[in-house]
Each structure stands twice: as C-alpha cells, then as structure tokens.
Amino acid sequence: MIPENFIQSNLQGISFIGPELILTLAILLILLVGVLLPYWRHRILFTILAVAGLAGSVLPLWKLPQPAPDLTYLSNLFVWDWLTFLSKPFFAVVGVLTILLTQVTGEIDNSEYSECTILVLAVTMGMMLLVASTDLLMIYLAFETMGILSYLLVGIRARDERSGEAALKYVLYGAFTSGTMLFGFSLLFGLAGSTDLLAISQKVAFASQHPQDRLLLIVAILFFLAGLLFKTASFPFHFWCPDVYEGAPTPITAFLSVGPKAAGFVLFIRLFYPLFATGHDATIYEAVSGLDWPSILALVSAITMTLGNLAAIHQNNLKRLLAYSSIAHAGYLLMGIVSLSDLGLRSVVFYLVVYLFMNVGAFAVVAMVASAGGSEEIDSYRGLGARAPYVCVAMAIFLFSLIGLPPFAGFVGKVYLFAAVIYKKIYWLAVVAALNTVISLYYYLRIVKAMFLEKPTETIQIQVPLSSRVLLLALLVPTLGLGIYWQPLARVVSGMF
Amino acid sequence: MNSLYTYLFLAALLFSLGIFGVFQRRSLIGMLIAIELMLNGASINFMAFNRFLAPDPIVGQIYTLFIMGIAAAEAAIALSIIVAVFRRLRSINIERAQELRG
Amino acid sequence: MTDLIFNVFILLTIIPCFWVALSSNIVHAAFSLLITLFGIAGLYVLLGADFIGVIQVIVYIGGILVLIIFGVMMTQRGKLLPLSIQLPGKLFGAVLTGVILAALLLSATRTLWPVAAVLGEPQLTSAAIGDLLLGKYLIPFEIASVLLLAALIGAVLIARRSVRGE
C-alpha cells in the first residue's frame, strides 16, 4: 500500500509544479499536432503553441502562496523560495526568446521545427525543475533532463557537419562531467545517508569538524565542481564551449549561453550555500571550516575570465568570439559566488537577468545577419553600418553593454559584481576583473569599428524583416532600460536572499 | 569480505578506470563505454551505502534505478549522434571530429 | 558458500574492467563491459537488492549494452579503425586517474562512515520500490518519462535525418 501521507503530499504539491505541467501539456500538444495534422506543419503554428505554453506556464505562479525559504513541497523534493519563484519566469523568457529567434531566422528546417520547439520546451522544463530541487535525486534528474536534451538541440541540424560534431563533443564531455558529479553525489549520500540537502548540510557541518572526514568533503566538492563548471563553461571545463557554440544553430547557441549557464549558477547557489557555508547573520556566510572552496573558486574565476578574454582577441568568427566572451562572463559571474554574501548572490542573479537580454541580443544579430545573406565572419560586418543601420546600432548597444559601459544594463550588473568582491575585500580579484574588462574592450570594439568605420565590400542594403526588428527592439528595451532604471529589478532581487 | 569497504574500493576502481578510459580512448564509442563504467561506479556506491548505513533503506536503490534510466537515454542519444556523424565522416575517430578546433 | 559467490562476482566485475579501459579493440571492450555489468548485477543481489539486480541485467545488458554493440557494428564497416593515437592528453589522464584513485581510496578508509551496527535481513524489495515510485518519487518518475519521451523524439529525428541525407 502506498502510504496515505505521500498521496496527500503529492496532491498538495501538484499546484507548485504547475509551470512544468503546462509545459508538458504544450509538448504533448505540439507532438499531436505534428503527427495528426501533417498539412498544418507550419512554423508559425508551432511557434504560437510553444510561446503560449511558455507564457501560460508562468501564470500559475501568482496563484501560489508567498515563497518562503523553508516552504518545501512534494515530500521535500522541491523548495518554494524566492529564487525558485523568480527563476521560473526567467527561464520561460529564455525559452520564448529562443523560440522567437528560431522563428525569425530560418536556421532550423521546417521538417525539424516542431521537434526543435519540443526540445526547447523540455529543456526549459528541466531548468525550471533544477532551480527548485532540494534533493540530490531530483537535482541529478533535472540536471540530466536539461543536459541530455540540449545535446540533441546542438545536433538537431545533423545534416550539417559542424552541428553534428559540436553535438558529439558536447555529449561526450557532458556525460563525462555529469558522471563525475554523480560520483560526488554518491559520496555525500554515503556521508549523510539521505538525499535531502537539508539533512546533508547538517551532516556536512558536523563532519567538517573531523579531520578524518575532510578529505571526503574536498573530493565531493571537486567532483561537484566538474559538473557545475562544465554547465557554466568555466575553467577547466570551458574547452567545449567555442566548438559547440560555433557548431550549433545560432538560436540554440543563444539558448545555451543564457539558459543552462544560468541554471548552472543557480545550482551553484543551491548546492554550495546550504551545504558548504554556514551562518546567515549579517548577510555574510562563512565557508564550512577546513574547506576553503571560495579561494579555489576565486582562482577559477580569475583564470576563466582571463582565458576567455585572451582567446577572444584572435577570433574572426563572431559566434566563436561570443563563445569566448561567454566564458569570460562566467568568470565575472563567479565573482558573485565567491564573495559569500547576500550582496554577491544578488549581484549574480541581477547580472544573469541583464546578461540574458544583451547576450541573446548579440547572438540574435549574428543570426539575422547570417540569414540575410551575410556570414558569421567579421569580414562580412565591414561597413555593415551603412547597409543595415538599425541592426548595427542594436549590435553596438549589445556589445557596449557586454563590455560594461554606462549607461547600459551591463554596467550596472558589473558594478554590483565588483561591489560584492570589494565589500568582501578580495581586492586582487577585482583588479583582475578590471584588467579583463580593458582587454575585452579591444575585441568588442573591433566589431563596432568594422561595422561603422570600415569600407563596405558591397553596397546593397540588407533587408531585415519586420519580425526580426521587433524582436531586436524587445531585447534593446531591457538592455537600455535596466541601465537607466534598474531599481525595480534590484529591489526584486534584494528580496530574494 | 562482504563489507562496506570492499564495495567502496570497487566503486573507486571502476570510476577511476572509467576516467582513465575516457582519456585513453580516441574512439567515440570507447569513450562512451568508459563513461558507463563511471556511472556504474557511482551506482555501486549508492547501493553499498544503502545497504550498510542508510537509515532509509530504499532511497539508494531508487537512485540507482534513476541512474539506469538516465544512462539509457544518454547512451541512446550519444549513439544516435555518433551514427549520424559517422555517416558523414566514415570514421568515428575523434581526430576527424576536430575540424572545428581553431 | 556466500563468500565464494561474493568473490566470484567481485572478480567478474574487476578483471574485465581493465579490458574495458585498456583494450585497443573496441569489440573486446564492449564484451568485457558485458561481464562487468553482469558481475555488478550479482553484487546487487548480494547487497539485498534483488529487484535492482534483475533490472541491471535487463536495462544495462539487455538495453544499453546491446545499443552500444549495435553502434560498434554500424560504425565499424569491416575493418577496425586504429584506436590509439598519440595525444598529449594521455599522460595527463594517467596522472589524473592515479590522483583520483588515491584520493578516493584514502577518503574511503579515513572517513568515519556511520555504519549500522546490525544489518537488517535482506527482504524482497520490489514491493517497497513500487510503493516509493508511486508515492514519494511519483513526480521524479513522471519527469523521467518526459525526459525519455523527448530523448526518443530527438534520437529518431537525428537518425532519420542522416538516413535521408545519404
């Protein structure tokens, strides 16, 4: 007999996973429409279904009770706190932007379009579950749902050589790192005898007092890091990133660079803060005694941003360049994680929101230029400013924001991240990050210079369809708006921790 | 003999040999096989801890069950990608898949 | 008697493992993995998990391994491709493996595992697993099915494409 209390718990918790249920319904609907109505296989139909599913998925959130840090549901598998509450709409926006970008750029064929939307929805569902999970079993399952299906998204254009090979790299490295992370989970399960993060955190705090157990904890932390650093594309698991980002269809690249990466950072917050940090007083955490993981991560952060920026200088392919820039940004974001304070966590979340718009924007421009007859090489951007002024101004704004220049949103995000490390007196990391910003200035401005200051090779105007212009506008508004009027977002974020 | 340590050593050995295999192999399917070894190492850990010390004795077994399901999905997808790429390249050695490096 | 069976399964697990990692022949590696997986299934049964042992045989050997062997056959085309090519990663891999193995063995012996004083008698587990899968772990179970569905769609898509592309 199934114990009555589990049935009760499942019935009560079902409303909390409303977003995921609606996404699953949308997946099934798209599948049915694709199979039953073969003559209706128009892109626009699937786009509408998918966007409606994603938009509908956030509706149940406002019906739910006030989030609280200890409000768990479904037998302690998930937690309903502010981080969960805000992450779900975030990932829904990521999904919507990806679907719209696929719709307006034609990089995915009609014959595989419905499957592509299904996969985007399923990965989004995985990310939504991942950020809410507080159980090692659920974390692993959601992590793999997100991971395995994104390997497929990368390889969806299998007839294209680059896409297939990128998917191959992604799947092998991904399986390797998630296997390593799983072994770390198994060690923690052994230590605590439970998969619940709360139970494990008590056990870890106890075990860290004993020198005998410390080695095990260090090994477990390092194994976790393999999975997390892979997903966030940080050193030493960053090497897949340029190849995969270049080989994948551009809308999917944009998706990977903000979706799974953000999920990786939220998982960082979920795993490291409850497990390996103590004390919530005065908004400052402390690493569990004897385990100096913040210093390790600070080093990783410095190396990641430096490697990313130095490698980006030599790139002539824009997708590759943005891939290295995305590695560098993983380094910047890690600064917020290592600062071990509420300020740091807030700055990570704030920057992730800002990064979503500016990075998807930059990739969107790359995809639009490529589909309007240009290429992804920097050569085809020479003199583009005269041929497609609107797109190029948009690109310049996204790039300025990625550099972190005022008055764009990236500037505010970076100020928060710098403030977090300076507040914790990790001055050397702030200096490294500042130097890196200077390096990044060079390669971002190289694109701007090519667009506006160099002679065009052709003079024909590039026609960008209206739908693309509207999508770009939708990305420009937050990139500019959050740079000038960021207080609402800052207020929302500061309520989280 | 039938003690926790035997199983832990066994799991550690399987996991390390899996890692070694991933670095050693240049064939994509070979790497996949080595990764299966790593996953099995983790599964043995879960099962052994489950038997010898977990107060809630079935959780580890459930975890192993989920690992198997996920491993199956992962293997199916990895193989479908490998086969798709192979049809293009006529070779599954990883060197050929490195045209992207630049 | 149990000790003898235990030792047999341990050896069945360990010895083929080295072939899996070291053999230069991919077919040998795949078949060695079969024996290893079978040995692990036996160990699961000795750990009191009869159900998981059977599932290990069905899913891993009957499913995943058959899939891998199919993959080997579909991509071999008669001649075995040379597997070992000198790459700088190899020595690094060996050193890394050594460090990890040493750290794992050391931490396994040093850690104070909260071992239960008295081991419970092994019981039939299938009923308990069923209860948990339909009770506490119902939602993860359903999520796994969504994962498998989406994976199925994607795998078919990729395989179909490449057939048509030829």
pLDDT digits (tens, 9 = 90+) for A373-419: 778 888 888 888 888 889 999 999 999 999 998 889 999 999 999 99
Percent of chain A with pLDDT over 90: 52
Over residues A198-224, the pLDDT tens digits come to 888 888 888 888 888 888 888 998 999
User: Could you tell me the end-to-end alpha-carbon distance of chain C, in angstroms, rounded to an integer?
Assistant: 57
User: What pLDDT sits at residue B1?
Assistant: 60
Polymer length of chain B: 102
Picking from B1, B5, B25 by the largest number of C CB atoms within 10 A of its own CB, the best residue to mutate is B25
Side-chain-facing half-sphere of C28: CA atoms under 13 Å: 13
CB contact under 8 A, C138 and A129: no
What does the angle CA A461 – CA A466 – CA A471 come to, to the nearest 5 degrees? Answer: 115
Q: How far apart (Å, rounded) are the C-alpha atoms in residues A68 and B29?
A: 46
- Please report all neighbours of A, defined by 3+ CB atom pairs within 8 A: B, C
B2 min Cα distance to partner chain A (Å) = 17
Residue type, B97: A
pLDDT for position A406: 85
Rounded to an integer, what distance in angstroms lies between the CA atom of residue A413 and that of residue A483?
A: 9
Cα of C7 to nearest chain A Cα, Å: 23
Q: Which site among C64, C100, C139, C153 would you substitute to test the A interface, given the most A Cβ atoms closer than 10 Å to its Cβ? A: C139
Task: Compare all CA atoms of chain B with the CA of C4 and give the residue at the minimum distance.
Answer: B1
**pLDDT score, position A107:** 82
Give the residue with greater pLDDT, C112 vs A91. A91
CB contact under 8 A, C47 and B77: no
Beta-bridge partners for A79: A72
Please provide the average confidence, as pLDDT, over all residues in chain C.
83
Report pTM: 0.93
- Domains: count for chain B: 1
Q: Which amino acid is at C79?
A: K
Identify the DSSP state of B27: B
Question: By CA distance, what is C162's nearest residue in A?
Answer: A159
Which pLDDT value is given to residue A52? 94
Quick one: pLDDT at residue A289?
67
Please indicate if any CB of chain B lies within 8 Å of the CB of C127.
no
Query: What is the chain A residue with the closest CA to B22?
Result: A176
B20, B32, B58 ranked by CB distance to C68: nearest: B32
Residue range(s) defining the domain that contains residue B63: 4-98
**CB B49 to CB A190 under 8 A?**
yes
Name every chain B residue with its beta carbon within 8 A of the beta carbon of C55: 65, 68
Of C87, C129, C158, the CB nearest to B58: C129
Residue of C nearest to A149 (CA): C151
Is the distance from CB of A312 to CB of A440 less than 8 angstroms?
yes
Q: Which residues of A touch C112 (CB under 8 A)?
A: 210, 212-213
Regions of chain C with pLDDT less than 50: 78-87, 162-166
**Any bridge partners for residue A135, and if so which?**
A196
Q: Please tell me the predicted confidence (pLDDT) of residue A425.
A: 87
Nearest to C17 by CA among B27, A179, A175, B11: B11
Question: Is the separation of the CB atoms in A245 and A323 below 8 Å?
Answer: yes
Residue pLDDT, tens place only, A41-83: 678 889 999 999 999 999 988 888 888 888 888 888 899 888 8
Three-class HEC string of chain A: CCCHHHHHHHHHHHHHHHHHHHHHHHHHHHHHHHHHCHHHCCHHHHHHHHHHHHHHHHHHHHHCCCCCCCCEECCCCEECCHHHHHHHHHHHHHHHHHHHHHHHHCCCCHHHHHHHHHHHHHHHHHHHHHHHECEHHHHHHHHHHHHHHHHHHHCCCCCCHHHHHHHHHHHHHHHHHHHHHHHHHHHHHHHHCCCEHHHHHHHHHHHCCCHHHHHHHHHHHHHHHHHHHHHCCCCCCCCHHHHHHHHCCHHHHHHHHHHHHHHHHHHHHHHHHHHHEECCHHHECEECCCCCHHHHHHHHHHHHHHHHHHHHHCCCEHHHHHHHHHHHHHHHHHHHHHCCEHHHHHHHHHHHHHHHHHHHHHHHHHHHHHHCCCCCEHHHHCCHHHHCHHHHHHHHHHHHHHHCCCCCHHHHHHHHHHHHHHHCCCHHHHHHHHHHHHHHHHHHHHHHHHHHCCCCCCCCCCCCCHHHHHHHHHHHHHHHHHHHCCHHHHHHHHCCC
Q: What pLDDT, on a 0 to 100 scale, did the predictor assign at position A81? A: 87
Nearest residue of chain A to residue B36 (CA atoms): A179
Report the gap between the CA of C117 and the closest CA in chain A (Å).
14
Which of C142, C143, C160 is the best residue to mutate to test the A interface, defined by the most A CB atoms within 10 Å of its own CB? C143
Please name the chains neighbouring B, where neighbouring means 3+ C-beta pairs under 8 angstroms. A, C
In this prediction, residues B11-33 reach a mean pLDDT of: 89
Mean pLDDT of chain B: 84
How far apart (Å, rounded) are the C-alpha atoms in residues C162 and A172? 20
- Residue C14, chain A, CB below 8 Å: the answer is no
CA distance C37 to B36: 10
CB-CB under 8 Å, A172 with B32: yes
Are C148 and B73 a contacting pair at CB < 8 A? yes
C144 and A141 within 8 Å at the Cβ level: the answer is: yes
Nearest Cβ partner of C114 from B34, B53, B82? B53
Residues from chain B contacting residue A183 (CB–CB below 8 Å): 15, 38, 41-42, 45
ipTM over 0.95: no
Q: How far apart are CA A286 and CA A216, in angstroms?
A: 20
- The verdict on A212 touching C (C-beta cutoff 8 Å) is yes
Q: Is C117 helix (H, G, I), strand (E, B) or coil?
A: coil
Q: Is A3 left (phi over 0), alpha (psi -120 to 50) or beta?
A: beta
Domain C1-77 classified CATH 1.20.120.1200?
yes
CATH number of the domain bearing residue B11: 1.10.287.3510
Per the CB < 8 Å rule, is C135 touching A2?
yes
Which one of B29, B81, B91, B96 would you mutate to disrupt binding with A, by most A Cβ within 10 Å of its Cβ? B81
Q: Enumerate residues 6+ apart whose C-beta is below 8 A from C26.
A: B27, B29, B30, B33, C72, C76, C80, C83
Residues of B in contact with A193 (CB under 8 A): 49, 53-56
Q: Measuring CA to CA, how many Å separate B16 from each of A178, C98, C105?
A: 15, 8, 11
Average pLDDT of chain A is 88
pLDDT for residue A176 is more than 70 = yes
| Residue C83: closest CA among A175, B99, B21, B101 | B21
- Closest residue to A151, CB basis, from B15, B56, B81: B81
With a pLDDT cut of 70, the percent of chain A lying above it is: 96
Q: Cβ of C96 and B83 within 8 Å?
A: no
CA atoms within a 13 Å half-sphere pointing along the CA-CB vector of A185? 33
A280 pLDDT band (50/70/90 cuts)?
low
Distance CA A34, CA A150 (A): 21
pLDDT at C86: 38
